[in-house]
Chain A
């Protein structure tokens, strides 16, 4: 099926005419957003017991849908492995990719992609069985390491071991489930990926408490949504959807109080919610686009705590993902 995907990719690129109408108009005409998500990463994107997609990354698609259609549910999901995701986006099979994807130079510049920002600042970590007695990643010389193909993870891994003059054997899989099964069976000593991903995978192991995430963070992994290169209007909608989530938290707007916020005294709140100015029109969407995002999906903090925060099985602290006003990196340009 993979080859079919790649073949369609090749075929679409060979066939389509070069003139492209704006994707925003196309999406509106189509009536839904085709959103590429993870095949199953607890907390980030996974189908719930009713088969409905849920998670931190899924909520970004829903926020975009709220902005474009005034209804967060006009989304269709395409589950993608790390290997398939860029081809799916390049070929136009999906409109936006929201799948714990690291923003890197090559992907941005060479693959015809456009990263619109980061909604989760992460870093790569290592997980080992506690009974190995390993306390630091520097002790991993000679270990065998399970990794997922098509990720920054496999590149960082080679870099890290090379820098520290250590050797490793890699066992490479395409799907997280396969890695988990192999790691659980003891095929490899180490499971490495983004620390958020490790938290999610660890919660699914047979005995999570037998495993330990080592203290080292060996890379920068700014995860964020991606659109195709050259779709600037659509990219703007994606970018400012992300900033709406962040700025809503900053301004104290939540899904619970967004209605009363409409009578706020703060001009930025009024501009954001479409009471004043015409930001919606400039963006090519309705005036109440940001209202709809916050009302139906929530602000950044709500989304975070709902899916990955300390009260979820992932138990992730906000850490560097706190607002800039609280010592974190989440920062949105002014809405004016």
Chain B
């Protein structure tokens, strides 16, 4: 301690038991001990009981043959004769992520559109959006999924008279079929083109910002970027001699096989999830926009900004600060709700791993624990990402 008349911190040291810091360390230590003890007791007791009831335990089932088919596996070839329960887990995870990501992107786009239109001065537009939101928000999701799957997609034409678009795309009760792009030698050129395009866009964006700061002139960054994104990879493809071929679906005795296919189970799930969630997002967006004080737009108009620009440059950036936190929980909901796929023959982790694998291998505890760990990880990752984004757009105090 410092010398002199400064009396702070020179109070006599409290006795060991009276020191709040030490005491709290001791209490926390006791809580940890009790927790660890209980956990050990449960694990031990569970293992005992499982053994006594003759139920297998451990993780070795992950490398045991699964022996069943999983309906949908777009990212890796799943062969029922070689697949293990571990393969089923991976397919389940990939399928869940696919559903979650497509669902989140769609729900966000649709939700933003309806949220903004809901505030439209046009009475009909705003009323339509109101009904869209109210109807979707107030019907249980499971019911909506069943509706999309059985009532809508279930009435698609039979395989004999499928709807065809330019003889390239076909739609029938088994799904939507289209040509599957198969990369050939030299496909990397296109990837390279894409990388160059992105690099160019970043450069242009920085240059445009600087120029605007200096001269006040606005450069059409968006359209230039879009053009670059299409033209450069296209030139690369042309140089490489268009290294892409298409596998078209073929007719067999039962229907169309091969090519690219979107299964009705997947379509119904993504459609149901994203429409349902979009209604909530629309409300979040609306409240976010309303939270931005009216004076802000008035000030923007006074500066001569058009309504579209005012929305984009003044209102939305401020609204985002209100929108992002509740948006995160909608994303989490959507991801977790994807487990309702079991009702409509979907093939995500709960259906095939926590469902079929659990039943065939019988190891409920391990399988449920793995599934929960997966959901926890995904939820944490989404939250982390959204927190990062939220900080990025937060008000910068000067």
Contacts and interface: CB of A to CB of B under 8 A. Distances in A.
B320 to A, nearest CB: 34
Interface stretch (A69-77, A177-185, A254-262, A279-287): A177-185
B347 A172 contact: yes
A87 interface: yes
Interface in B317-359: 342-345, 347, 350-352, 354-356, 358-359
Interface in A122-159: 132, 139, 141-144, 149-150, 154-155, 157-159
B254 interface: yes
Interface stretch (B50-58, B211-219, B276-284): B50-58
B134 interface: no
B254 A185 contact: no
Contact of A142 (B80, B150, B254, B354): B254
Nearest to B356: A149
A7 interface: yes
Interface string B20-55: 000000000000000000000010011011101111
Contacts of A112: 50, 53-56, 362
B159 interface: yes
B154 A142 contact: no
Given A90-B53, A158-B69, A172-B71, A186 B356 contact: no
B173 A158 contact: no
B305 to A, nearest CB: 51
A18 B67 contact: no
B365 A13 contact: yes
Interface footprint category on B:
35 or more
Interface string B232-258: 000000000000000000001111010
A159 B343 CA distance: 26
Nearest to B155: A185
A171 B264 CA distance: 10
A142 B255 CA distance: 8
Interface in A1-55: 2-3, 6-7, 9-10, 13-18
A110 B42 contact: no
Given A2-B342, A112-B54, A154 B368 contact: no
Given A10-B368, A230-B54, A149 B359 contact: yes
A120 interface: no
Contacts of A172: 69-71, 345, 347, 351-352, 356
A315 to B, nearest CB: 29
B81 A158 contact: yes
A158 B364 contact: no
A6 B368 CA distance: 8
B158 interface: yes
A107 to B, nearest CB: 8
B343 A178 contact: yes
Contact of B360 (A2, A155, A178): A155
A83 B67 contact: no
B169 interface: no
A139 B159 CA distance: 18
A257 to B, nearest CB: 42
A254 to B, nearest CB: 38
Contacts of A10: 46, 364-365, 368
Interface of B is mostly: helix
Contacts of B344: 178
A146 to B, nearest CB: 9
Contacts of A178: 343-345
A157 B70 CA distance: 12
Contacts of B356: 83, 149-150, 154, 172
A111 B362 contact: yes
A86 B362 contact: yes
B68 to A, nearest CB: 4
Contacts of B69: 154, 157-158, 168, 170, 172
Contacts of A143: 253-254
Contacts of A173: 345
A236 interface: no
A207 B364 CA distance: 40
A106 B356 CA distance: 14
A10 B358 CA distance: 13
A157 B71 CA distance: 13
Contact of B55 (A111, A144, A182): A111
B358 A144 contact: no
B254 A144 contact: yes
Interface in B78-127: 80-81
Contact of A110 (B56, B150, B364): B56
B48 A6 contact: no
Quick one: which of B54, B150, B347, B365 has the most chain A CB within 10 A? Answer: B54
Contact of A13 (B49, B257, B351): B49
Contact of B174 (A82, A144, A230): A144
A303 B174 CA distance: 41
B82 to A, nearest CB: 10
Interface of B: 42, 45-46, 48-50, 52-56, 67-71, 80-81, 150, 154-155, 158-159, 173-174, 252-255, 257, 264-265, 342-345, 347, 350-352, 354-356, 358-362, 364-365, 368
Going nearest first, the 5 A-B pairs with the smallest beta carbon separation are: A150-B359, A112-B55, A111-B362, A158-B80, A229-B54
Interface of A: 2-3, 6-7, 9-10, 13-18, 82-83, 86-87, 90, 106-107, 109-112, 132, 139, 141-144, 149-150, 154-155, 157-159, 162, 168-174, 178, 181-182, 185-187, 189, 228-230
Given A10-B46, A150-B356, A172-B70, 9 more contacts: A6-B364, A16-B49, A17-B45, A110-B362, A111-B362, A143-B253, A149-B355, A149-B359, A174-B343
9 contacts: A2-B350, A2-B355, A6-B368, A87-B359, A90-B53, A110-B55, A149-B355, A187-B173, A230-B53
